[in-house]
Amino acid sequence: MAQFKKMKIAIIDYNAGNVQSVKFALERLGVNGILTSDSEEILTADKVIFPGVGEANSTMNHLRKLGLEKVIPNLTQPVLGVCLGMQLMCSHSEENDTECLNIIPQKVIRFRPDSKEIKVPHVGWNNILVKNDSWITENLNDEYVYFVHSYFVEVGEFTVATTDYVQPFSAALQKDNFYATQFHPEKSGSVGEQILNNFLIK
| Domain residue limits, the chain | 2-201
Mean pLDDT, the chain, integer:
92
**pLDDT of 202 above 90:** no
Catalytic residue among 83, 100, 122, 149: 83
Spatial contact of 79 and 143, defined as CB atoms under 8 Å apart: no
**pLDDT of 116 above 90:** no
What is the identity of the amino acid at 36? T
Count each helix (H run) and each strand (E run) in the chain, helices first. 6, 13
Catalytic residue among 69, 90, 95, 184: 184
Mean pLDDT of 96-109: 97
Q: Which CATH class is domain 2-201?
A: alpha beta
CA dihedral 87, 93, 98, 99 (to 10 degrees): 70
**Known catalytic residue: 92?**
no
Mean pLDDT of 89-117: 95
Q: Where is 26: in which H helix or E strand? A: helix 19-28
> What is the phi/psi pair of residue 143, to 5°?
-95, 155
**Known catalytic residue: 83?**
yes
Instruction: Report the alpha-carbon distance of residue 11 to residue 8 in Å, rounded.
Output: 10
Mean pLDDT of 58-78: 96
Spatial contact of 31 and 5, defined as CB atoms under 8 Å apart: yes
**pLDDT of 2 above 60:** no
What is the predicted pLDDT for the residue at 178?
97
More confident residue, 150 or 117: 150
**Known catalytic residue: 186?**
yes
Mean pLDDT of 98-117: 94
3-class DSSP assignment, residue 36 = strand
3-class DSSP assignment, residue 72 = helix
pLDDT band at 4 (very low <50, low <70, confident <90, very high): low
What is the predicted pLDDT for the residue at 140?
85
What is the predicted pLDDT for the residue at 3?
57
pLDDT band at 195 (very low <50, low <70, confident <90, very high): very high
Share of the chain above pLDDT 70, in %: 98
Mean pLDDT of 131-153: 89
What is the predicted pLDDT for the residue at 188?
95
Instruction: Report the alpha-carbon distance of residue 95 to residue 88 in Å, rounded.
Output: 11
Mean pLDDT of 132-151: 89
Catalytic residue among 69, 95, 143, 186: 186
Mean pLDDT of 25-30: 91
122 - beta bridge partners? 149
